[in-house]
Amino acid sequence: MNKVTFVTDRCKGCGLCVTACPKKILELDGSTLNAKGYHPAKMTDQAKCIACAMCAMMCPDCVIKVEKAD
């Protein structure tokens, strides 16, 4: 399975990754605040991820890591 991980403490909650995701499986976590006081991005359904890395390419802070399954 493809894997997407976030460095949530560096995320500033800009939402660019959410907009870029073609599968619409990313969202800002309104129930959590990171160390900087922002709502970080999170994955809603890891199984639907196609590892296109559009989210990682759009992230201005490089907080997203995409790993494609073999």
From 21, 2, 3, select the one nearest 59 (Cα to Cα): 21
Please tell me the predicted confidence (pLDDT) of residue 69: 87
User: Is the separation of the CB atoms in 38 and 29 below 8 Å?
Assistant: no
| pTM of the entire predicted model | 0.90
pLDDT (average), residues 5-15: 96
Q: Is 28 exposed, middle or buried (0-12, 13-18, 19+ CB in 10 A)?
A: middle
Domain 3-67 falls under CATH 3.40.190.10:
no
pLDDT (average), residues 6-19: 97
* Per-residue pLDDT reduced to its tens digit, 16-55: 999 999 999 999 999 999 999 999 999 999 999 999 999 9
The C-alpha atoms of residue 47 and residue 32 are separated, in whole angstroms, by: 22
Res. 70: pLDDT tops 80: no
Provide the token pair at 52: 């296109």
**What are the domain boundaries of the chain?**
3-67
